[in-house]
């Protein structure tokens, strides 16, 4: 679409506030605003709707099926996914990134930036980190859990990577759960013949997360490095972030949509195995503490941790062999809008959490994350009026199951634009072309 496009009559959510104005789009960019609605061009009618910056999902796992995951994202108003690499055994982090970039190119419906998982933390070298930087990586991820998958970094490794990140200018994302204690709790449950699915969650209690968050903050402080805490779920973790910030530390906080919408009571039901995720769903008290932190600015980003495929551990006859992880990229923004507005969050705050802060934290702002003259015209036209019920079969991820099945949502997405191009029009994907780009530049 090369001519001038006018998004007419919507309430436009900008960093400065909500404005009733037309938006002019020229080529891939927002050209400007026209409050009087007088300019000509191809017109999209947004009367009665809000126009939001295209969603940026700061935590996704799409590799393996980029086409389905990004198509699903587009239907949910997410126009940029920050996606983790998936290094194979023995594959270096830079090589996994190069392979991921090849997989994204030509298959993505939305824009995708790749963040590098350090899959074998004991083997990461200075040369690998330098290579990642040359490849244009903006963030890398370490795990303090999953020793059984070889992913768990030692405290020394965490310190060294954080220390190096300052020099290289990338941000370190940390999965904070104490993997050693989890392994001991798992062994303890199994020794007592507690094999049911709920024990997956009960082996990962809030204390193992709080401890790992506290430790990560202390190590980041020692390394003089900013740090990004992925999928926080506990009141104790939130308190530790507030204390670190009060102490002058740069600590970024991510919460996932499932930890805001679902709670641990689901583990008491017969369908517990459908709700397994790491970290697990938490008690109501923790969920409400997360919402307070979302409202008061402690939380920076709300992500999906979308798994295009549930992680499949080796089969066993107890909870350690059960698949876990959720698909959530399509419903992240609609759920946040519906539940956030019901709870009294401003739509401006919702735009910050879903787009602006992810772009700022991960170096994509102001090209992405806000509706500003000169920004990419990644736009979502959201109608607050319709009510609808989630049906897993109507989602576009091809998975056929959703932890949100049966929920009623307020508001639905009418149009989605990626860099000025209409990609979703009233529930239909427009055109056949895959217009998404990999934001990691080609070598
Ligand atoms: Zn994840």
Query: Could you please report the per-residue DSSP string of 303-325?
Result: E--EESS-B-PPP-SSGGGS-B-
Q: What is the reported pLDDT for 65?
A: 95
Calculate how far, in angstroms, residue 350's C-alpha sits from the geometric centre of ligand 1: 21
SS3 416: strand
Residues across the chain: 443
- The predicted structure's pLDDT at residue 432: 64
- Using 50, 70 and 90 to split pLDDT, how confident is the model at 214? very high
**Who has greater pLDDT, 269 or 88?**
88
382 falls in which pLDDT band (50, 70, 90)? very high
Q: How many angstroms is it from 32 CA to the middle of ligand 1?
A: 37
pLDDT (0 to 100) of residue 38: 87
For residue 332, the CA-to-ligand 1 centroid distance in Å is 14
- Determine the distance separating the centroid of ligand 1 and the alpha carbon of 97, expressed in angstroms: 16
C-alpha 9 to ligand 1 mean position (Å): 38
Q: Is the pLDDT of residue 1 over 50?
A: no
Q: Of 290-304, 306-320, 343-357, which gets the smallest average pLDDT?
A: 306-320
**Distance from residue 303's CA to the centre of ligand 1 (Å):** 9
pLDDT digits (tens, 9 = 90+) for 106-129: 899 999 999 999 999 999 999 999
Residue 412 CA to ligand 1 centre (angstroms): 26
Residue 102 Cα to ligand 1 middle (Å): 21
- 167 Cα–ligand 1 center, Å: 25
Average pLDDT over all residues of the chain: 96
Residue 1 class from Cβ within 10 Å (0-12 exposed, 13-18 middle, 19+ buried)?
A: middle
Long-range contacts at 71-74 (CB < 8 A, ≥ 24 apart) = 71/109, 71/396, 71/397, 71/429, 72/306, 72/327, 72/329, 72/330, 72/395, 72/396, 72/397, 72/398, 73/109, 73/110, 73/306, 73/329, 73/330, 74/109, 74/110, 74/416, 74/418, 74/423, 74/424, 74/429
Residue 185: what pLDDT? 98
Q: What are 410's strand-pairing partners?
A: 387
Rounded to the nearest whole angstrom, what is the distance from the C-alpha of residue 229 to the centroid of ligand 1?
11
Mean pLDDT of the region 360-381:
98
Give the tokens for residue 152. Answer: 């768990």
Show Cβ contacts of residue 309 under 8 Å, excluding neighbours closer than 6 positions: 64, 65, 325, 399
Cβ proximity of 275 and 281 under 8 Å:
yes
254 CA to middle of ligand 1, Å? 11
Average pLDDT over residues 232-241: 98
Distance 87 CA to ligand 1 centre (A): 14
Long-range pairs for 386-392 at CB < 8 Å and ≥24 separation? Answer: 386/410, 386/411, 386/412, 388/412, 390/331
CA of 143 to the centre of ligand 1 (A): 10
Question: Residue 191 Cα, ligand 1 centroid: separation in angstroms?
Answer: 29
Ligand 1 centre distance from Cα of residue 103 (Å):
19
Confidence of residue 311 (pLDDT cuts 50, 70, 90): confident
Ligand 1 center–CA 83 separation, angstroms: 9
- From the CA of 309, how far away is ligand 1's center (Å)? 12
Give the pLDDT of residue 362.
98
Q: Directed axis angle between helix 126-134 and helix 155-168, to 10°?
A: 40
Residues in contact with 70: Cβ distance below 8 Å, sequence separation at least 6, in sequence order: 62, 81, 107, 108, 109, 110, 112, 436
Q: Does domain 54-361 have CATH number 3.40.50.300?
A: no
Q: Tens of pLDDT along 399-435? A: 989 999 999 999 999 999 999 999 999 989 997 667 8
Distance 71 CA to ligand 1 centre (A): 19
Query: pLDDT at residue 177 above 90?
Result: yes
Domain ranges of the chain: 4-50+373-429, 54-361
How many Å apart are CA 180 and CA 417, to the nearest integer? 45
- What is the band of 310 on the pLDDT scale with cuts at 50, 70, 90? confident
Q: What is the CATH number of domain 4-50+373-429?
A: 2.30.40.10
Averaged pLDDT, 7-31: 97
Phi-psi category of residue 176: left, alpha or beta, with phi > 0 → left and psi -120 to 50 → alpha: beta
Q: Which residue has the tokens 């605003």?
A: 33
**Residues by chain with Cβ below 5 Å of ion ligand 1:** 305
Cα 278 to averaged position of ligand 1 atoms, centre (Å):
8
- Alpha carbons 244 and 241: distance in angstroms, whole number: 5
pLDDT at 308: 87
The answer to whether the CB of 258 falls within 8 A of the CB of 326 is yes
Phi and psi at 262, nearest 5°, equal: -125, 160
State in Å: Cα 142 to ligand 1 middle: 11
Q: How confident is the model at residue 206 (pLDDT cuts 50, 70, 90)?
A: very high
């Amino acid at each position: 679409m090369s001519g001038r496009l006018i998004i007419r009559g919507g309430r436009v959510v900008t960093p400065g506030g909500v404005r009733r104005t037309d938006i002019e789009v020229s080529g891939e960019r927002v050209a400007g605003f026209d409050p009087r609605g007088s300019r000509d061009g191809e017109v999209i009618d947004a009367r009665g709707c809000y126009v939001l910056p295209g969603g940026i999902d700061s935590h996704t796992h799409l590799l393996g099926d980029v086409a389905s995951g990004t198509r699903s994202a587009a239907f949910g108003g997410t126009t940029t996914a920050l996606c983790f690499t998936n290094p194979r055994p023995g594959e270096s982090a830079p090589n996994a990134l190069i392979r991921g970039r090849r997989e994204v190119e030509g298959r993505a419906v939305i824009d995708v930036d790749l963040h590098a998982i350090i899959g074998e933390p004991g083997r990461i070298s200075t040369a690998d980190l330098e290579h990642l930087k040359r490849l244009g990586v903006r963030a890398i991820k370490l795990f303090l859990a999953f020793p059984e998958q070889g992913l768990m970094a030692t405290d020394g490794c965490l310190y060294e990577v954080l220390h190096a990140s300052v020099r290289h200018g990338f941000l370190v994302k940390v999965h904070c759960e104490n993997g050693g204690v989890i392994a001991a709790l798992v062994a303890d449950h199994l020794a007592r013949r507690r094999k049911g699915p709920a024990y997956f969650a009960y082996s990962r209690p809030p204390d193992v997360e709080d401890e790992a968050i506290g430790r990560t903050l202390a190590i980041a402080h020692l390394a003089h490095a900013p740090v990004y805490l992925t999928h926080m779920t506990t009141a104790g973790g939130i308190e530790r972030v507030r204390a670190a910030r009060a102490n002058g530390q740069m600590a970024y906080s991510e919460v996932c949509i499932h930890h805001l919408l679902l709670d641990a009571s689901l583990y008491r039901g017969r369908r517990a195995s459908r709700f397994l995720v790491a970290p697990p769903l938490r008690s109501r008290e923790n969920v409400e503490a997360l919402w307070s932190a979302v409202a008061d600015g402690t939380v920076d980003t709300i992500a999906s941790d979308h798994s295009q495929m549930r992680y499949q551990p080796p089969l066993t006859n107890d909870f350690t062999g059960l698949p876990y992880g959720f698909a959530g990229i399509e419903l992240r923004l609609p759920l946040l809008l519906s539940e956030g507005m019901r709870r009294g969050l401003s739509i401006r705050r919702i735009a910050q959490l879903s787009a602006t802060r992810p772009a700022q934290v991960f170096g994509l702002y102001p090209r992405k994350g806000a509706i500003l003259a000169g920004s990419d015209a990644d736009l979502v036209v959201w109608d607050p009026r319709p009510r609808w019920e989630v049906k897993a079969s109507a989602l576009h991820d091809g998975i056929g199951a959703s932890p949100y099945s049966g929920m009623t949502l307020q508001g639905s997405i009418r149009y989605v634009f990626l860099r000025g191009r209409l990609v979703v029009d009233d529930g239909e994907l427009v055109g056949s072309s895959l217009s998404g780009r990999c934001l990691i530049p080609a070598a």
